[in-house]
Chain A
């Protein structure tokens, strides 16, 4: 074997590839346990009602029904929530949205459980509902929570009435700056509720042992958040619950916080049996969560030479019935609203409104696709008014390495300019934008749009344990759930590289709250950076301990030893003098020193707000993460007869720091682009009163093979982040952020108008086309 291992930077296929292509990968719905019962849920038919009584007699009398849980099985004081403890395990006292879980049944079969669920009779007293966030914020609106101010909160949320949380950030003096602006654009934008639509519906399986301790497998993005949510909402000590994970059929945010786990554990404890609950697609649409609809009022000003000078933004987020991740999404969207530009005077503020709709929560981008949609259109409009090329205007204002982010955090690595260069060159931007009549083809008009954006990778805590097994192979355990994006593969690559082992000598443990080190979750684009850093440091500790052991065995100083490729420790300058890991580990296990274990854990601690620079109130997190950057160019076709928009070609560049696995990185960029295409053009959850009108895949349109661009070019920019593992930053979400904005800018280039509302459907484009024709005729 040579002396090099090239695990990092290699496009190796996902480690679980064989399972996935043979259909043997086990998702939660594929798990079966002895004596397992099946569960079904009862959902609220009302948007807002007080629960007066439950009649479960008829349902319990059905042969084969084992247990039923209702709100009577919950304690009023037990509530969960990432930021505001406002949510019961399932409806207690009141229902707050159509589709909310109000009861659940455990029975011998799924069909029987569903039949029994239909026999449960619940008496409600209907209450007026708050369905629109702007209406909900008015003083006389129906209150979604009777006393929201009394809830426990983890930050100064400002919760009152239907105001779930409020946040305000400012830098410079916006009011004074408008006078110095030569050109100002202003607008109001609305973005829609988008469904995550991971192909695997949410589900869970709970097994109760003889001591009443529960083992819970579920579709999740964090076994530790599952444990916390279930225990908080059911009043259980965390020692009573062990959370594990099967393979996950994708998440995109909807499996990060709780879905059915609390109600299922409650049911299993009551039945004292193993129970599995898998939601139908409609139930998943109605009960889980979706991307926040945003109402954005934004104003941006610049000087005549193209320098951005001032920005004000006000956001109202529809938070739905419970806080969930809403305060985080609001705070993060406000922090990121400026985009990767230097604007010296910024006022950013907003509120989350409680409404009688499903929870809105984390979804790839975490609020940034929404604010970027508004911001990047305004940058484009400014360029148009100033007569400056849109990419040139962006170049004037983009942040460099030494600039600080809005509110003061330092930026280290920054590959944004290279991202812009890549997409500008590859799309032949100057030539295509300059093209005139040749950009029309029959009734189709062609335009080109650009957008940039940034994202963080980071937040909170992560750990890793690296253990050398007796035979010298290595077991890595991080507690980070691979939701399909390939983090198990990437973390294994890093561990193999750090210990100079072939990849097949490293196994990665499945996350388990009993055995894994804490990992906050697979969210915030964080696993590569956060867990990866822990892996590198834990591996370094292992290397150190291997050397200590070997120094006794080889009778030399540990300083004279080196790590050699293939799992060996050798004496520097003496090629023949070396020991395989197996020999060292054998001694450690059976003779001296003890088994070799390296571990590391940390919390991201770089401050977001510099109090000398910015004023922040109601910001739910003090430390966010390391910045990644992106630039996108799209070619857009607008059909003047139908209003239909198509994106035949696109160029997306992302500064990821370093690509640990380029093929997986490319997969993230492409997948995020196509999800962004759906967000931009077709996807929208629609309510008929309080009821979701399109909770089916027939009526909710995600992109299919047919909608994908003919030509989607991705570019990986590597800026090498000094604090990242092997230079890596993040890639999970960022590819989505700029897509809708770039498309809207492309439409403006093709037909002359910007789009204040998402999705940009054919109908909406026709409406705008008709208006512009009427205006000119």
Chain B
């Protein structure tokens, strides 16, 4: 069936089966490849995309169920100031090694900062506990997210 998906602010008409996941449609039909298939069971978080502002598992969301919703992938979010702060902090803190989990991490972190611009160490751990990383040991990710938040707060304070 034809489904209209709103991705990164742009409408796409795509032919999707009833069982096609948002992740498979994004990756295989629309060439948005930032979200990764790590487990396809909703555990690893590598497929995290933003749906109506919430971090969602692309592999557990059916594409047809996302019609009309505001879907944002890392490709689109990279144009926002908040995501750019996060990306810079991830680079500066060594918050990735292989990078496979990184798009999902960034989208999850972005959703956290959208709600809480002064997250504690514990806030970051809890908000991102659904995203797995096997390389870094997580600590630089926590530091990077908090650093990005701090820089965003400082920028806001300067007006």
A residues whose Cβ falls under 8 Å from a Cβ of B:
11, 13-14, 16-27, 29-30, 196-201, 247-250, 252, 278, 280-281, 483-486, 663-664, 666-667, 670-675, 696-698, 702-706, 708, 710, 712
A197 nearest CB neighbor, chain B only = B134
> Which A-chain residue is minimally distant from B141 (CB atoms)?
A705
Q: Assess whether B142 is in contact with A705, with CB atoms less than 8 Å apart.
A: yes
Once the chains bind, are B43 and A671 in contact (CB under 8 Å)? no
Which one of A198, A199, A664, A712 lies within 8 Å of B137 (CB-CB)? A712
**Contact assessment for A697 and B134 in the assembled complex, using a CB-CB cutoff below 8 Å:** no
**Chain B contact surface mostly:** loop
Q: Quick check: which of B29-37, B50-58, B61-69, B151-159 contacts chain A, the rest being far away?
A: B29-37
Cα A173 to Cα B6 in complex, Å, equals 75
| Other A-B pairs, 13, CB within 8 Å; known A21-B99, A22-B87 | A24-B34, A197-B134, A198-B134, A199-B101, A201-B37, A278-B37, A281-B38, A664-B94, A667-B140, A673-B137, A697-B44, A705-B128, A705-B129
Query: Smallest CB-CB separation from A280: which chain B residue?
Result: B40
**Chain B residues, CB < 8 A from A196:** 134
Min Cβ gap B97→A in Å is 4
16 contacts between A and B (CB under 8 A): A14-B94, A20-B96, A20-B99, A21-B90, A22-B74, A22-B87, A23-B73, A199-B36, A199-B38, A249-B99, A249-B100, A281-B44, A663-B94, A670-B136, A697-B41, A702-B134
Tell me, yes or no, whether B25 is within 8 Å of chain A by CB: no
Q: Which of B1-54 contact A (CB under 8 A)?
A: 33-41, 43-44, 46
Query: Is A708's CB under 8 angstroms from B139's CB?
Result: yes
A23 to B34, Cβ gap below 8 A? yes
| SS of A interface (majority) | loop
Within 8 Å CB of A281, what residues of B? Answer: 38-41, 44
Please indicate the chain B residues that have their CB under 8 angstroms from the CB of A667 in the complex: 94, 97, 135-137, 140
Q: Could you say which of B41, B98, B124 contacts A483, with CB atoms under 8 Å apart? A: B98
Known contacts A27-B36, A697-B39, A706-B125; is A16 also within 8 Å of B99 by CB?
yes
B94 x A484 contact (CB < 8 A): no
How far does the Cβ of B158 sit from chain A's closest Cβ, in whole Å? Answer: 24
* Contact of A199 with B98 in the complex, beta carbons under 8 Å: yes
Q: Does B114 lie at the interface of the complex (its beta carbon under 8 Å from any beta carbon of A)?
A: no
Are A671 and B34 in touch, CB under 8 angstroms?
Answer: no
Contacts of A671 in B (CB 8 A): 97, 134-137
A663: B residues at CB distance < 8 A: 94
Enumerate B102-154 residues with CB–CB distance to A below 8 Å.
102-103, 106, 121, 124-126, 128-142
Which of chain A's residues have a CB closer than 8 A to the CB of B41?
A: 281, 696-698
How many CB-defined contacts (below 8 Å) exist between A and B?
158
Using Cβ atoms and an 8 Å threshold, which residues of chain B touch A483?
98
Whose C-beta in chain B lies nearest to the C-beta of A249?
B100
A18–B102 CA distance with the chains assembled, in angstroms? 11
State how many angstroms separate the Cβ of A631 from the closest Cβ of chain B.
18
Query: Given A278, A484, A670, A672, which contacts B99 in the complex, CB threshold below 8 Å?
Result: A484
| Closest-CB distance, B134 to chain A (whole angstroms) | 5
B40 cross-chain contacts in A, Cβ below 8 A: 280-281
C-alpha gap A29/B28 in the complex (Å): 10
How far is A704 from B75 in the complex, measured between Cα atoms in Å?
26
With A673-B137, A696-B41 as contacts: A247 and B99 at CB distance below 8 Å: yes
Is A486 within 8 A of B140, CB to CB?
no
Given contacts A281-B40, A697-B41, A705-B124, contact A23 B94 (CB under 8 A): no
For A23, the chain B residues whose CB sits under 8 A away are 33-35, 73-75, 78, 102-103
Specify which of A24, A29, A675 is in contact with B36 (CB 8 Å cutoff).
Answer: A29
